[in-house]
Structure 1
Amino acid sequence: MPTIDTKGWLFISILSALMAFTSLSTDIYLPAMPQMGRDLHGDAELTLTGFLIGFSFAQLFWGAISDKIGRKIPLIIGMILFVIGSIGCAISTSMYELLAWRVFQAFGACVGPMLSRAMIRDLYSRTEAAKMLSTLAIVMAIAPIAGPMLAGHLLLWFSWHSIFWLLVGIGTIMFFFVLVLPETHPLERRSTRSVVATYKNYWILLHNKGFMKYTLCVSCFYIAIYAFLTASPYVYIDVFHVPTEHFGYLFALNIIGVMILSAINRRIVSAIRLDRLLRYASLFSALCVLIVLALMFAGFTSLPLIVIGCFLFFSMNGIIAAVTNALALDRAGKMAGSGAALLGSMQYGSGIVSSVILTFLPNDSAFPMMIVIGVFVIVCAIIAYPSDEQYNRI
């Protein structure tokens, strides 16, 4: 089967779509969560927990495997698993079934974003790779904007099952596109070590203070991010009575904020030290959430207050995620591949914490969501505060 040009627009478009699989799988069904919980008589927040459990563990597995057998075969297998998992979600009749299929779905979904980054690293130099990843990030931002909007309007005509059937269709289309991708990790560059030996890198990195500082920093911030993702459908739709079809527009504001801050970040990273930029961004985020909480406790709770506060906090992801990832992988030295897998696993797996916490808290007000966000954004700022100079590469 013929493959495509690695510098052409089709190649870039396919990788952008693959990178969007995480946000597509978590964001597209957010407007349906309240209805899913009522129909299946369970906590729909746990569907996000199940996905993140599968996503975080699968990254560690596929990261080592792709270094041994290349990128294309895992991508093909991942798309097949994603389609099967999406079918299982669509035909689920209980919350337990849906949870199990969400874990299964995640084992396929995680391959796209992780290996698309690896393919860019295979093909481009450090500077060119950074430019390519920035391009992919801008394009992939379409998914978390369009997904909830599309789903909200889809729910006007069909049940929540239709959202997962839509994912089946998307996964099937992507399977055929993956078939034309070139293999970017040739035999002579593949790891000759056993998979078990590769996994030992994770243990070494867990003891690397510099790497763990930034990994824990972004993980705490993502606990706050996933607190918003988990609870915002209930807060906006059930508490403030936002129509389901309008939820996607409020959610899109946050993604637009991330895109704007990402663009700003690309311009200022050369002028401000990365660790200092991280401190500024995390401190600003913490102050915004604390101001919102103070006003809420003073009795000024309103939808505009929550929307504006979450927009300011969420937008900082455009700086915090990029800077922490760059600094963490820099400290990983020659273990950058293993570092990327471990960083991704902890960053996205951290959402398990917030989704589990919020499952046991009432969802009849905005307080639980904002308190969880506030606690972990403050922890993020505390971790980011120490000087970067004490940490060295391994």
Structure 2
Amino acid sequence: MASPDGITLTASQEPPAASTRPGADTTANPAMPSWLPILLGFLTAVGPVSTDIYLPAFPALERSLHAASGSAGMTLSAWMIGLAIGQISMGPLSDRFGRRIPMLLGMLVYTIGSVGCAMSTSLWEMCGFRLLAAIAASASIVIPSACVRDLSSGNAAAKLMSKLILIQGVVPILAPMLGGMALDYISWRAIFWVSAGYGGICVLLLLRIFPETLRPEARRELRPLSLLHRYTGIARDRSFITNGMIWGFSGFLSFTYLTAAPTVFEHIFGFTPAHYGMLFGLFAVCMIGASQINGALVGRVSAGRLLGIALAIAIVGAIALLVVVMLGEQYPSPETHQIRKIMLLPIVGCMMITLGTTGIIGPNAMVGALSNQPQYAGSASAFAGTLQYALGSLASTAIGLLPSDTPAPMAALMLFAALMMGFFAVFRPHLPPEIEEAMEHANTAH
């Protein structure tokens, strides 16, 4: 079993059982208590909840802060930048100081950042608090996975990791729907007060019952130069950088949609926040459904071939989306000067096809990225995550700067992302059969 810094743990190194009752000394690496997976899932959900729940509120947020239409995407960009910074830094910090303290401090700062967002009086002030909250929230994204590796191995670890991934998949469906329905009764600021309350509950749970899962003797020195050398070596691996950039541009595609869709569907097509939340859930179901199809096909079809097929579908879907949008632009409605409502269903259909492929592209690109990194799988995974969030922040920034009265920028950037994934796929090295087979088993388990 690989630790976050790539060190392999054997069964003999698994932690001994210890009491895990609230208040007990659990520094000696407790056995897995039955309630811990639920708590880890609750902590892991902080990231996707904070990313998605306020998306339907973009138009209301812009009106309240007297900001230009489409500029709310800058707050999502700030969030992505924060996650990119935190993703690559929280792992090493938790290896040095243990799991509990970094997560506790992270949730405390996240709570403060959420309060700041709720009280913001300008868009730039909110961007600053979102950046702060994101860096801190990264602890809840990275560290729970490390806790799983601390306490379990083999099939047990795979099953628990699958539960955490399921939470990360289901929450994006529910969060915007709940946020959109709530906006019928409360202001967008209340959403951030709820987020602050969520963070406060996490702080209390971490203080009262969360056990330290990393033994003191297993903690590692924090050496920045050593980490820099490691990440430089990973970046020089052709398999990592090509697949990692495919993974990154899948994030660019997804965050283009996340940033632009609230304005496109609420401003242009007249959706209510609640209706947009339901549409968001439909897209999320497509992505999760594709990932389940991927899991069923792994072992029958090679990871490389699955990736190639999904990329081809993504490119075709993105081209079709842009064509549909440009055709709609040729026939504006005389009353509203917006694209005809008849174009709504084709646009949604093309987006379902394009976004759905990310459920296949993501896991198979990660398989390739980690194929040559058995000793540093944790670091390589964090590096790939940082690439994704960094490119996602660029997408959010671009959407915020482009015109918001048409879906054309969204469609064009989604096509750009699909083409860039195809470009890097051309240079993706072919994996040896034995490596691909081993990585496919890991793909299936996760």
Structure 2 Cα separation of the partners of residues 289 and 174 of structure 1: 40
Structure 1 Cα separation of the partners of residues 344 and 31 of structure 2: 46
Structure 2 Cα separation of the partners of residues 283 and 184 of structure 1: 43
For structure 2, the 5+ residue unaligned runs are 1-22, 329-339, 437-446
Report the alpha carbon displacement of residue 196 of structure 1 after superposing the two structures with TM.
3.5
Report the alpha carbon displacement of residue 362 of structure 1 after superposing the two structures with TM.
0.7
CA contact (8 A) 2:260 2:410 kept: yes
Q: Which residue pairs with 1:131 in the alignment?
A: 159
CA contact (8 A) 1:65 1:195 kept: no
- The correspondence for 1:23, drawn from 48, 59, 63, is 48
Q: Which residue pairs with 1:302 in the alignment?
A: 343
Q: What does 1:180-259 correspond to in 2, within 5 Å? A: 180-192=209-221, 194-259=223-288
Equivalent position SS for 1:141: helix
Q: Which residue pairs with 2:84 in the alignment?
A: 56
Equivalent position SS for 1:272: coil
CA contact (8 A) 1:215 1:325 kept: yes
- The correspondence for 1:378, drawn from 419, 430, 436, is 419
Please report the RMSD computed on the Cα atoms of aligned residues, expressed in angstroms: 2.2
282-291 or 321-330: bigger deviation: 321-330
CA spacing shift, 1:72–1:345, aligned 2, 3 Å: same
312-321 or 22-31: bigger deviation: 312-321
Report the alpha carbon displacement of residue 262 of structure 1 after superposing the two structures with TM.
2.0
Equivalent position SS for 1:53: helix
CA contact (8 A) 1:149 1:249 kept: yes
Matched, 1:331 2:376: no
CA contact (8 A) 2:248 2:385 kept: no
CA contact (8 A) 2:30 2:213 kept: no
CA spacing shift, 1:267–1:195, aligned 2, 3 Å: same
Q: Which residue pairs with 2:37 in the alignment?
A: 12
Structure 2 Cα separation of the partners of residues 135 and 122 of structure 1: 16
Equivalent position SS for 1:331: coil
CA spacing shift, 1:367–1:278, aligned 2, 3 Å: same
CA spacing shift, 1:126–1:340, aligned 2, 3 Å: farther
CA spacing shift, 1:10–1:305, aligned 2, 3 Å: farther
For normalisation by structure 2, the TM-score amounts to: 0.83
Matched, 1:280 2:305: no
Q: Which residue pairs with 1:340 in the alignment?
A: 381
99-108 or 128-137: bigger deviation: 128-137
192-201 or 220-229: bigger deviation: 192-201
Structure 1 Cα separation of the partners of residues 281 and 179 of structure 2: 13
181-190 or 224-233: bigger deviation: 181-190
Structure 1 Cα separation of the partners of residues 360 and 161 of structure 2: 14
Structure 2 Cα separation of the partners of residues 181 and 270 of structure 1: 38
Q: As a proportion of its length, which structure holds more helix?
A: 1
Structure 2 Cα separation of the partners of residues 8 and 306 of structure 1: 47
371-380 or 229-238: bigger deviation: 371-380
The letter for the 1-side match of 2:246 is C
For structure 1, the 5+ residue unaligned runs are none
Structure 2 Cα separation of the partners of residues 17 and 207 of structure 1: 36
Structure 2 Cα separation of the partners of residues 216 and 223 of structure 1: 10
Structure 2 Cα separation of the partners of residues 61 and 387 of structure 1: 28
Larger CA Rg, structure 1 vs 2: 2
CA spacing shift, 1:271–1:127, aligned 2, 3 Å: farther
The letter for the 1-side match of 2:261 is S
Equivalent position SS for 1:350: helix
Structure 1 Cα separation of the partners of residues 128 and 38 of structure 2: 31
Matched, 1:388 2:429: yes
Report the alpha carbon displacement of residue 314 of structure 1 after superposing the two structures with TM.
1.6
The letter for the 2-side match of 1:101 is F
Structure 1 Cα separation of the partners of residues 228 and 422 of structure 2: 30
The letter for the 2-side match of 1:19 is T
Report the alpha carbon displacement of residue 9 of structure 1 after superposing the two structures with TM.
4.9
Equivalent position SS for 2:271: coil
The letter for the 2-side match of 1:309 is C
CA spacing shift, 1:387–1:230, aligned 2, 3 Å: closer
355-364 or 10-19: bigger deviation: 10-19
Report the alpha carbon displacement of residue 268 of structure 1 after superposing the two structures with TM.
1.5
Report the alpha carbon displacement of residue 7 of structure 1 after superposing the two structures with TM.
4.3
- The correspondence for 1:105, drawn from 115, 133, 151, is 133
The letter for the 2-side match of 1:89 is C
For normalisation by structure 1, the TM-score amounts to: 0.93
Matched, 1:351 2:392: yes
Q: Which residue pairs with 1:166 in the alignment?
A: 194
Q: Which residue pairs with 1:267 in the alignment?
A: 296
Q: Which residue pairs with 2:320 in the alignment?
A: 291
